[in-house]
Amino acid sequence: MIARVTLEIALRREFDYLVPEELADRVTVGSRVKVPFGPRQVFGCVTAVGTDSPRANLRPILKVIGKQSLVTPKVLALARWMADYYCCSVETAIKSVLPEAIRREEDGWRERLVVTARAGPGPLPKLTRRQADVWRVIEEWREISLQELLRLTGTTAETVRRLEDRGLVTLAPQVSERDPYAQEAILPTQALTLNPEQQRALDTIRQGLDRGPGGAGTAAGSAARVFLLHGVTGSGKTEVYLQALAHALESGRGAIVLVPEISLTPQTVERFKARFCAGPVRTLVAVLHSHLSGGERHDEWHKIRQGRARIVIGARSAVFAPVEPLGLIVVDEEHEHSYKQEEAPRYNARDVAVWRGQREGAVVVLGSATPSLESYHNAQRGKYELLELPTRVDDQRLPVVRVVDLCRAGSGGREHGVPIFSNQLREAMALRLERREQIILFLNRRGYSTSLQCPKCGYVAGCPNCSVALTFHRSRQRLLCHICGHETAAPAACPEPKCRNPAIRYAGVGTQRVEDALRRLFPKATIQRMDSDTLRRKEDYRRILGDFRTGKIDLLVGTQMIAKGLHFPNVTLVGIVYADLSLHVPDFRAGERTFQLLTQVAGRAGRGDVEGEVVVQSFTPYHPAIQYARRHDFVGFYQQELEMRAELQYPPLSRVALLVLRGRNEDKVKFAAEHVRKELDRRLGGWPGLVLAGPAPAPLFRAQSFYRYHLMVRTRQMTKLSRALAELEAALRLPEDLRLTIDIDPMNLWGS
């Protein structure tokens, strides 16, 4: 028997190995193996097994890792597709479908020693007093972990060994599962009665499930479709997911729920666990995300692989979970950029979900209050089925949104010349504090102020490694680069030798500065800031949200961390300090992003009995992204944005590939980029409808002391382009110190 193996050392080739007799029944497609490679031993994954090989003198597989093959053939097919589409090696793709904790050899189940009572009725052998005390505890518990026993009795392992010698107890290792949510007390919940719109959406999804393989429908085996669930914030999308999941379970299939990392809060996880911890369709809900320890991840993953957990909730990489058979994939907040992985393989979990769903006959539900232009466009042209939830549950009204022009905010709103709060926002805040209602203030920029600027000579403190200004962090009195982490003391005067102006000033405003200004404005209010600087530990996030929920905090200031998915009935005012921040970045999705952000943040207001209000401050109040968000008009925004995209052949009317070259020598990078352009012209010259742009300096021109040039290719035939780019990459002979990255369907044009 011969096995074909891809090696983890990314060689973009597969190698044949002999399967030794004694391993024959353990080697299948998907097995992880250790093989000799030159003088070394390396890990790999079996991609095929057969009886002959074109090569002679094959070396044998040394070892099979794990009892069960780790990659199912279906997930392997997914990895192959990813490698083709996203221009990366199969090995890189396989690496990302298996969590690190699963791939490593040494991580396994945690075992602990358990003491079990054995003695039956009858006289006890003679024991010392100490031994007798310990025995009584064991007898009462019947079975107890050694560690726990030692803690309870204050004895030593030696004493327990004595009891074992006497035949009274056995000591044996037992697998104990790590449960990251062990401390939660989860109360079961039941399905809510849906409103007519929710019911219609659910029925349609259920029909889709019934049509799929394993479904109750007659046309079993036909491919299920994709649904786009467009529902305003608070319209009850999650309840629709929960009931659709129940239906998948009833028909014997499992499901994957993807949520953005940032909204994977204990609150969200609990909602899913609570629904499936009891009742006829009870199952374990496994959770996969990056904050779990390696061991926890190992256990969660294997619960899925063994079929004990049939629902998985997780961030991006949970899309590869080995759920079998798979009935449903839910992608919540499908427009979120965090679904895109910013390193190879540069996949978008939403798009992988759609592909996987189609391959495995599973229903895919993409949900969002602000769908991406790509998905909404797919729904418009009939590729996806559109389901709409246009109203909030219980007919709560969407909040009133007021847009304030900061250029006219008047001097009342200025702090040292920088406007932070307009009079309108100030008054609105004062009113809520008086009424003991809660407030959220949102600003997408952490730190105290954006930059240190000299008003006399124009000097701006910049990072020596990156082409960005340093951000002042007041609590530490340091300047910090938000790209590379470079840190330096804040100077007391302008460092320009000819200037030395002592009146150097801080321009721009970050969350810290907003917090300071608020404390001065409302000294009696309880104010809490929440951004990546205040969240040092895992529990901080939870504690702050808990305090906010129970009313211990009046006013929460934060970055996008507070924008999503959170639900606080007593919040009646949301203030957006600068709506323009995300608007003026060199990215064709800047408008879309701003619209999404404003809508999401606004959705935090008025989720209780009192109507909510949103105050949006902006220097460009008439920008369409702001105006359409103000009117809660997604379709209006979509239509005007689509026109703009069509004109320039941007997605969703085409697809983009971004090529970035980087290196420490600027001239070399530029020269190589020009060479790539020539090659692209030569290879893709005759393609209809192709747009080639660049090379140009990347928007983030210098980062971590690397210079970056980029080129953009836009086409409607991405599969074909991916293949051409892979060939180009293989043929290019780039100098050692230059790197080319290819990003298919990039989300971040700043170049990662």
If binding is defined by CB under 5 A, does position 463 make contact with Zn ion? yes
Cβ-based neighbour number of residue 148 at 10 Å: 14
Shortest spacing between CB 208 and ligand ADP, in angstroms: 19
Could you tell which of Zn ion, ligand ADP, none binds residue 465, using a CB distance below 5 to 8 A set by kind?
Answer: Zn ion
Shortest spacing between CB 231 and ligand ADP, in angstroms: 5
Could you tell which of Zn ion, ligand ADP, none binds residue 463, using a CB distance below 5 to 8 A set by kind?
Answer: Zn ion
**Tokens in use for 432?**
């809520």
Cβ-based neighbour number of residue 424 at 10 Å: 16
DSSP label at residue 123: P
Q: Is 628 exposed, middle or buried (0-12, 13-18, 19+ CB in 10 A)?
A: buried
If binding is defined by CB under 5 A, does position 465 make contact with Zn ion? yes
Shortest spacing between CB 401 and ligand ADP, in angstroms: 17
Span near Zn ion by CB under 5 A; candidates 207-215, 250-258, 461-469, 646-654: 461-469
Shortest spacing between CB 560 and ligand ADP, in angstroms: 17
Residues 527-556 that bind ligand ADP (CB under 6 A): none
**Pick 257 or 469: Cβ nearer ligand ADP:** 257
Rounded CA-CA distance 630/396 in Å is 17
Q: Are the C-beta atoms of 87 and 725 separated by less than 8 Å?
A: yes
Phi, psi of 365 (to 5 degrees): -115, 115
**Which residue has tokens 């031994």?**
131
Shortest spacing between CB 467 and Zn ion, in angstroms: 9
Q: Using the Cα atoms of residue 338, residue 342, residue 343 and residue 349 in order, give the sign of their dihedral.
A: positive
**Pick 96 or 599: Cβ nearer ligand ADP:** 599
Could you tell which of ligand ADP, Zn ion, none binds residue 231, using a CB distance below 5 to 8 A set by kind?
Answer: ligand ADP
If binding is defined by CB under 6 A, does position 99 make contact with ligand ADP? no
Nearest Cα neighbor of 338 from 262, 287, 265, 257 is 262
Q: Are the C-beta atoms of 728 and 683 separated by less than 8 Å?
A: yes
How many residues sit in the footprint of Zn ion (CB under 5 A)?
7
If binding is defined by CB under 6 A, does position 233 make contact with ligand ADP? yes
Could you tell which of ligand ADP, Zn ion, none binds residue 501, using a CB distance below 5 to 8 A set by kind?
Answer: none
User: Could you tell me the end-to-end alpha-carbon distance of the chain, in angstroms, rounded to an integer?
Assistant: 44
**Pick 238 or 450: Cβ nearer ligand ADP:** 238
**Pick 198 or 444: Cβ nearer ligand ADP:** 198
Q: Are the C-beta atoms of 557 and 446 separated by less than 8 Å?
A: no
What is the C-alpha radius of gyration for the chain, rounded to an integer number of angstroms? 29
Shortest spacing between CB 641 and ligand ADP, in angstroms: 23
**Pick 228 or 420: Cβ nearer ligand ADP:** 228
Site string for ligand ADP, 380-419 (x = CB under 6 A): -------------x--------------------------
**Tokens in use for 204?**
């349609």
Please calculate the CA angle 231-236-239 and round it to the nearest 5 degrees.
125
Residues 693-732 that bind ligand ADP (CB under 6 A): none
Q: Are the C-beta atoms of 444 and 509 separated by less than 8 Å?
A: no
Contacts of 663 (CB under 8 A, 6+ apart): 669, 672, 706, 707, 735, 737, 738, 739
Shortest spacing between CB 243 and ligand ADP, in angstroms: 10
Burial 571-607 (b: 16+ CB within 10 A, else e): bbbbbbbbbbbbbeeebebbbbbbbbbbbbbbbbbbb
Shortest spacing between CB 632 and ligand ADP, in angstroms: 14
Which residue type sits at 603? G
**Pick 294 or 491: Cβ nearer Zn ion:** 491
Shortest spacing between CB 437 and ligand ADP, in angstroms: 19
Distances from the Cα of 239 to the Cα of 196, 270, 535, angstroms: 13, 13, 30
**Pick 234 or 371: Cβ nearer ligand ADP:** 234
Contacts of 93 (CB under 8 A, 6+ apart): 79, 80, 82, 83, 86, 345
Rounded CA-CA distance 71/709 in Å is 38
**Which residue has tokens 């020598």?**
665
Shortest spacing between CB 183 and ligand ADP, in angstroms: 23
Shortest spacing between CB 603 and ligand ADP, in angstroms: 7
**Pick 242 or 669: Cβ nearer Zn ion:** 669
Paired sense of beta strands 14-18 and 309-314, if any = unpaired
Could you tell which of Zn ion, ligand ADP, none binds residue 559, using a CB distance below 5 to 8 A set by kind?
Answer: none
Span near Zn ion by CB under 5 A; candidates 317-325, 359-367, 411-419, 463-471: 463-471
**Given 398, 481, 657, 744, the residue binding Zn ion (CB under 5 A):** 481
Residues 238-267 that bind ligand ADP (CB under 6 A): 238-239
Residues 485-504 that bind Zn ion (CB under 5 A): 486
Could you tell which of ligand ADP, Zn ion, none binds residue 483, using a CB distance below 5 to 8 A set by kind?
Answer: Zn ion
Paired sense of beta strands 2-7 and 14-18, if any = antiparallel
**Given 92, 235, 422, 752, the residue binding ligand ADP (CB under 6 A):** 235
Span near ligand ADP by CB under 6 A; candidates 235-243, 507-515, 683-691, 714-722: 235-243
**Pick 421 or 595: Cβ nearer ligand ADP:** 595
Span near Zn ion by CB under 5 A; candidates 294-302, 480-488, 503-511, 706-714: 480-488
If binding is defined by CB under 5 A, does position 466 make contact with Zn ion? yes
Residues 140-199 that bind ligand ADP (CB under 6 A): 192-195, 198
**Tokens in use for 225?**
């479709």
Could you tell which of ligand ADP, Zn ion, none binds residue 195, using a CB distance below 5 to 8 A set by kind?
Answer: ligand ADP
Span near ligand ADP by CB under 6 A; candidates 231-239, 377-385, 539-547, 625-633: 231-239
DSSP states of 34-77: EEEETTEEEEEEEEEEES--S-SSPPBP-EEESSS-SS-HHHHH
Chain-centroid distance of CA 47 in Å reads 28
Shortest spacing between CB 704 and Zn ion, in angstroms: 6
**Treating both helix axes as pointing N-terminal to C-terminal, what angle do 196-211 and 237-250 enclose, rounded to 10 degrees?**
30
**Pick 274 or 693: Cβ nearer ligand ADP:** 274
Shortest spacing between CB 233 and ligand ADP, in angstroms: 5
Query: Does residue 695 have a cis peptide bond before it, meaning omega lies within 30 degrees of 0?
Result: yes
Give residue 722's region: left, alpha or beta (phi > 0; psi -120 to 50).
alpha
**Pick 198 or 596: Cβ nearer ligand ADP:** 198
Could you tell which of ligand ADP, Zn ion, none binds residue 486, using a CB distance below 5 to 8 A set by kind?
Answer: Zn ion
Site string for ligand ADP, 198-217 (x = CB under 6 A): x-------------------
Shortest spacing between CB 601 and ligand ADP, in angstroms: 13
Paired sense of beta strands 284-288 and 309-314, if any = parallel
SS3 call for 697: strand
**Given 231, 371, 697, 751, the residue binding ligand ADP (CB under 6 A):** 231
Cβ-based neighbour number of residue 54 at 10 Å: 5
**Pick 487 or 727: Cβ nearer Zn ion:** 487
Contacts of 647 (CB under 8 A, 6+ apart): none
Shortest spacing between CB 533 and Zn ion, in angstroms: 17
**Pick 395 or 643: Cβ nearer ligand ADP:** 395
Shortest spacing between CB 480 and Zn ion, in angstroms: 9
The binding site for Zn ion (CB under 5 A) comprises: 463, 465-466, 481, 483-484, 486
The binding site for ligand ADP (CB under 6 A) comprises: 192-195, 198, 231, 233-239, 393
